[in-house]
Amino acid sequence: MSTRISLTVNGVKHVLDVADDALLLDVLREQVGTTSVREGCGVGACGACTVLADGKGISSCLALAVRYDGADLTTAEGLDDNDEVVSSFVECGAAQCGYCIPGMVVMTKELLAQNPRPSAEQITEHLAGNLCRCGTYPEILQAATTAASRRAAQ
């Protein structure tokens, strides 16, 4: 069985026929083409598949696409190079293989929307569900701190 749903992804509306058991992760990668959304663990434990749904970070590997009919989704593709988080990650060298970074970036966006001036502890806590196999945590923390200062200065 499939169902027609509508997803707004990075400001663009998509009307899609999706299998009733299709995961949002697979629909985003295969039907929408937002390949920054990555599959790591597939069981909600690594954060590589994180997207923002109506501003809230969710694990798309655990989400049935049909449950998000009408949702407004943001993936890393929706952020341009001038975005304070993206530019801070680039300037701080916060990536080795890069696999985890889109999830880290959108979680940082979520944090700064909720708390524009987070402490280092609050950043670490907010990103605790996002794992980096390369151990780039110091640079990621620096990038998130830089993004917060940039946002505060605007």
Nearest to ligand FES of 47, 118 (CB atom): 47
Nearest residue to 116 (alpha-carbon basis) of 80, 70, 147, 92: 147
Q: Whole-number minimum distance, CB 134 to ligand FES, in Å?
A: 3
Q: Whole-number minimum distance, CB 55 to ligand FES, in Å?
A: 19
Nearest to ligand FES of 11, 146 (CB atom): 146
Q: Whole-number minimum distance, CB 46 to ligand FES, in Å?
A: 3
Q: Whole-number minimum distance, CB 49 to ligand FES, in Å?
A: 3
Distance separating alpha carbons of residues 8 and 13, to the nearest angstrom:
4
Nearest to ligand FES of 17, 91 (CB atom): 91
Distance separating alpha carbons of residues 133 and 151, to the nearest angstrom:
28
Binding site for ligand FES (CB under 6 A): 39-42, 44-49, 59, 61, 95-101, 132-134, 136
Nearest residue to 85 (alpha-carbon basis) of 109, 66, 50: 109
Distance separating alpha carbons of residues 47 and 70, to the nearest angstrom:
23
